[in-house]
C-alpha cells in the first residue's frame, strides 16, 4: 500500500516488530541507552520511561517533516530512524 507511517518504538525493537513498509520512519527516544531493552517496562513495571518522556512536539515535528518529504523513509531492513533526544536529559543505562 506504500502508505507513509511514523512508528514509535521504546522497549520493543523495530528490527523484530516492523515497520514493514518501505515508506516508514521509526522514532525512538535517544535519551535512553537501553532502547530497545525488550522488557515489559522499566524494571518490568509495565511503564516505559523511554515512551513516557518522548516529547509529543518532537514526534509531531517529525511527522510534519516526513509528510513534507524532508525525512527519508526506509522500512525494513534499514528504516530511517529518528533518535529524538531531550536537551539536557541525562542518558540512563
Residue 23, in any domain of the structure: yes
Inside any domain, residue 60: yes
Q: Give Cα 68 distance to the centre of its chain.
A: 19
Asked, for residue 35, whether it belongs to a domain, the answer is yes
Longest dimension (CA), the chain: 40
Considering only 30-44, 51-65, 72-86, which range has the smallest mean pLDDT?
Answer: 72-86
Is 11 within 8 Å of 39 (Cβ atoms)?
A: yes
Domain membership flag for residue 76: yes
Residue 93 pLDDT greater than 80, yes or no: no
Structural domain contains residue 63:
yes
- Look at residue 37 and tell me whether its pLDDT is greater than 70: yes
| Domain contains 11 | yes
Cell numbers representing residue 6 in the block: 511514523
**Whether the predicted model's global pTM rises above the 0.75 cut:** no
* Count of domains forming the chain: 1
Domain hosting residue 48, numbered range? 5-84
Q: Is residue 29 part of a domain?
A: yes
Task: Convert 27-50 to b/e letters by CB count within 10 Å (16 or more is b).
Answer: bbbbbbebbbbeeebbeeeeebbb
Q: Is residue 91 part of a domain?
A: no
Amino acid at each position: 500500500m506504500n502508505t507513509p507511517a511514523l512508528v514509535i518504538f521504546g522497549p520493543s525493537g523495530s528490527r523484530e516488530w516492523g515497520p514493514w513498509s518501505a515508506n516508514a520512519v521509526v522514532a525512538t527516544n535517544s535519551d535512553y541507552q537501553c532502547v530497545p531493552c525488550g522488557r515489559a517496562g522499566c524494571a518490568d513495571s509495565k511503564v516505559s520511561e523511554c515512551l513516557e518522556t518522548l516529547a509529543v512536539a518532537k514526534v509531531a515535528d517529525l511527522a510534519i517533516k516526513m509528510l513534507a518529504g524532508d525525512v527519508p523513509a526506509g522500512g525494513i531492513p534499514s528504516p530511517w530512524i529518528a533518535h529524538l533526544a531531550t536537551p539536557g536529559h541525562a542518558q540512563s543505562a
